[in-house]
Amino acid sequence: MPASKLSAILRRAQAKQRAPSVSAAVFRGRELLWRGAVGWADVEARREATPDTRYPIASITKSFVAVAVMQLRDAGALALDDPVRRHVPEAPAGPTIATLLSHASGLQREVPGSGWETLEFPSLEEILGSLGEVELVLEGGGEWHYSNLGFVLLGEVVARLSGTPIERYVDDRILRPLGLAETTWAPAEPSARGYLTHPFADSVFDEPAELDRPGIAAAGGLWSTTGDLARWGAFLHEPDPEVLAPETLAEMRRLRVMAEPQRWSRGWGLGLILNRIGDRVFVGHEGGAMGAVSSLLVEQETGVGAVVLANTTAGFDPIAVAGELAGVVLDADEEVEPWRPGEPAPPDLAGVLGRWWSEGTEFVFTWRDGRLEARGAGGPEWRRPAVFERVDGDRFRTVSGRERGEWLEIVRGEDGKPTKLYWATYACTRDPRPFGPAA
Residue among 60, 125, 51, 43 at smallest CA distance from 298? 60
The one-digit pLDDT tens for each residue of the chain (439 residues) are 578 999 999 999 999 999 999 999 999 999 999 999 999 999 999 999 999 999 999 999 999 999 999 999 999 999 999 999 999 999 999 999 999 999 999 999 999 886 778 888 889 999 999 999 999 999 877 899 999 999 999 999 999 999 999 999 999 999 999 999 999 999 999 999 999 999 999 999 999 876 667 889 999 999 999 999 999 999 999 999 999 999 999 999 999 999 999 999 999 999 999 999 998 999 999 999 899 999 999 999 999 999 999 999 999 999 999 999 999 999 987 777 788 999 999 999 999 999 999 989 999 999 999 999 999 998 888 889 999 999 999 999 999 999 999 999 999 999 999 999 999 999 999 999 888 886 5
Examine the domain organization and report whether 182 and 144 are in the same domain: yes
Residue among 95, 372, 58 at smallest CA distance from 219? 58
Examine the domain organization and report whether 245 and 318 are in the same domain: yes
Examine the domain organization and report whether 299 and 364 are in the same domain: no
Q: Give domain status of residue 275, yes or no.
A: yes
Is residue 335 packed enough to be buried (19+ CB in 10 Å), middle (13-18) or exposed (0-12)? exposed
Residue 346, preceding peptide bond in cis (omega within 30° of 0): no
Q: Give domain status of residue 209, yes or no.
A: no
> Strands, E, within 193-348: which ranges?
195-197, 204-206, 223-224, 257-258, 266-268, 273-277, 280-289, 292-299, 304-310
Examine the domain organization and report whether 222 and 299 are in the same domain: yes
Domain boundary among 333, 360, 383: 333
Q: For residues 125 and 133, give the distance between their C-alpha atoms in angstroms, rounded to a whole number.
A: 14
| Helices 61-74/246-253 angle, 10° precision | 130
Q: Domain containing 122: what range?
A: 3-198+216-333
Q: Facing residues of 295 across strands?
A: 286, 308
Q: What pLDDT was estimated at residue 1?
A: 58
Contacts of 381 (CB under 8 A, 6+ apart): none
Q: Give domain status of residue 211, yes or no.
A: no
Examine the domain organization and report whether 359 and 419 are in the same domain: yes
Q: What are phi and psi of 287, to 5 degrees?
A: -150, 150
Domain boundary among 292, 308, 333: 333
Examine the domain organization and report whether 325 and 358 are in the same domain: no
Amino acid at 305: G
Distance of CA 259 to the CA centre of its chain: 13
Torsion over CA: 309, 273, 174, 163 (sign): positive
Q: Give domain status of residue 205, yes or no.
A: no
Q: What is the DSSP letter of 260?
A: -
Number of Cα atoms under 13 Å in the Cβ half of residue 216: 23
Examine the domain organization and report whether 46 and 176 are in the same domain: yes
Examine the domain organization and report whether 261 and 191 are in the same domain: yes
Q: Give domain status of residue 435, yes or no.
A: no
* 398 and 404 Cβ atoms separated by less than 8 Å: yes
Domain boundary among 333, 356, 380: 333
| CATH number, domain containing residue 384 | 2.40.128.50
Residue among 168, 227, 198 at smallest CA distance from 19? 198
Q: What pLDDT was estimated at residue 438?
A: 67
Examine the domain organization and report whether 394 and 294 are in the same domain: no
Question: Nearest 5°: CA angle at 326, between 324 and 330?
Answer: 110
Is residue 11 packed enough to be buried (19+ CB in 10 Å), middle (13-18) or exposed (0-12)? middle
Examine the domain organization and report whether 327 and 359 are in the same domain: no
Q: What pLDDT was estimated at residue 439?
A: 54
Q: What pLDDT was estimated at residue 210?
A: 63
Helix (H) or strand (E) holding 167: helix 166-170
Q: Give domain status of residue 206, yes or no.
A: no
Amino acid at 68: A
Examine the domain organization and report whether 314 and 385 are in the same domain: no
Examine the domain organization and report whether 377 and 228 are in the same domain: no
Amino acid at 320: A
Total number of domains constituting the chain:
2
Q: What pLDDT was estimated at residue 150?
A: 97
Q: For residues 13 and 188, give the distance between their C-alpha atoms in angstroms, rounded to a whole number.
A: 26
* 421 and 356 Cβ atoms separated by less than 8 Å: yes
Residue among 39, 7, 24, 15 at smallest CA distance from 192? 39
* 26 and 261 Cβ atoms separated by less than 8 Å: no
Question: Nearest 5°: CA angle at 261, between 255 and 265?
Answer: 65
Q: What is the DSSP letter of 175?
A: I
Q: For residues 35 and 12, give the distance between their C-alpha atoms in angstroms, rounded to a whole number.
A: 15
| CATH number, domain containing residue 171 | 3.40.710.10
Q: Give domain status of residue 169, yes or no.
A: yes
Q: Give domain status of residue 421, yes or no.
A: yes
pTM: 0.90
Residue among 235, 231, 229, 236 at smallest CA distance from 253? 236
How many other C-beta atoms can be found within 10 angstroms of the C-beta atom of residue 200? 5
Q: For residues 33 and 133, give the distance between their C-alpha atoms in angstroms, rounded to a whole number.
A: 49
* 388 and 363 Cβ atoms separated by less than 8 Å: no
